[in-house]
Structures are given as C-alpha cells and as structure tokens.
C-alpha cells in the first residue's frame, strides 16, 4: 500500500474521534460502529468493495470478516502500520475492528459510546491484521487461540 494511502486512511479515522457510537452507524452525524468506521475510511480512499453489513454486536462474525478481507484488495500485515485494519477478540464470541495510526488504534467503542484512540499495547488478543494494497490475496485470518 502506498504510504500516503495508509496515512489517508489513518487521518480519516482520526478525524472521527469523538463521533458517537451507534450499532450499524455509517456517518459522522448518525454515529459509527467499528465496521462503519472502517467502511467510511475505505470509502474515503476510493475503495468500492462491500464491507459486511449483517452482523450483531456479539456473535459469529469471523467468517464474514475473513471473507471480506480474503476476497478484497487486502494483504495480511505482519505488524500494524498507519492505515491498517486490526481485528481483536474482545470476548469469546466478539470481534472488534480498529484502524491503526502512528499513535494508537482508532475504533468505535460501544462502552464509551464514541469513537476513541487507544494507545498500544492493545488490551485484547489480535485476531487479524490487514493492509489495503489493491490486489486480491488468499485466506486473511489467523487466530492466536487456534
């Protein structure tokens, strides 16, 4: 991914810090959830893929998320750079998507009811890390618990 693309994704995410949390939210005025925040950042850089929309706050979302990152223009990122997407396991049946920046991870925090920046280290195990690169790659998920 060109450095400026990652920087643009990260900057877009940072610009939404303080926005309200809303499940399935997709706008600054209406609020964001973690998937909506990622969709907005991707749309901002011209990504036209369909990010998953049918999910619950808690539940089995791994297959949908893995399929999205495997069939889209992403590669597995060995360590997060600005603009990378990081999924963490916040509970046994709950994934949460974040966007890496140079100073931490931007995400829509349901408990705090707003978009926040969390500095490293993350308090949750990482499920997967992906970088937008413009080419399709294979299986994009790994879970440290497997």
pLDDT digits (tens, 9 = 90+) for 18-69: 999 998 888 888 899 999 999 999 999 999 888 887 776 566 678 888 888 9
Contact 131, 83 (CB under 8 A): yes
Identify any residues that bridge with 76 across adjacent strands, giving them in sequence order: 130
Q: What pLDDT is attached to residue 146?
A: 31
Identify any residues that bridge with 114 across adjacent strands, giving them in sequence order: 20, 109
Q: Which residue has the tokens 């749309």?
A: 43
Contact 6, 84 (CB under 8 A): yes
- Count Cβ neighbours within 10 Å for each residue of 34-70 and write b for 16 or more, e otherwise: bbbbbbbbbeeeebeeebeeebeeeeebbebbbebbb
Among the listed residues 22, 24, 8, the one whose alpha carbon sits nearest the alpha carbon of residue 115: 22
pLDDT digits (tens, 9 = 90+) for 107-134: 999 999 999 999 999 999 999 999 998 7
Identify any residues that bridge with 100 across adjacent strands, giving them in sequence order: 105
Report the alpha-carbon distance of residue 102 to residue 36 in Å, rounded. Answer: 21
């Amino acid at each position: 991914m060109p450095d400026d693309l990652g920087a643009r994704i990260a900057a877009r995410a940072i610009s939404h810090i303080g926005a309200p949390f809303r499940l399935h939210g997709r706008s600054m005025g209406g609020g964001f959830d973690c998937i909506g925040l990622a969709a907005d950042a991707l749309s901002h850089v011209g990504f036209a893929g369909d990010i998953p929309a049918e999910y619950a706050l808690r539940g089995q979302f791994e297959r949908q998320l893995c399929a999205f990152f495997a069939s889209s223009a992403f590669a597995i990122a060995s360590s997060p750079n600005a603009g990378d997407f990081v999924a963490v396991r916040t509970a046994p049946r709950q994934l949460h998507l974040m966007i890496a920046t140079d100073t931490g991870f931007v995400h829509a925090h349901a408990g705090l009811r707003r978009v926040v920046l969390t500095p490293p280290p993350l308090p949750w195990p990482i499920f997967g890390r992906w970088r937008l690169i413009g080419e399709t790659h294979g299986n994009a998920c790994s879970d440290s618990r497997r």
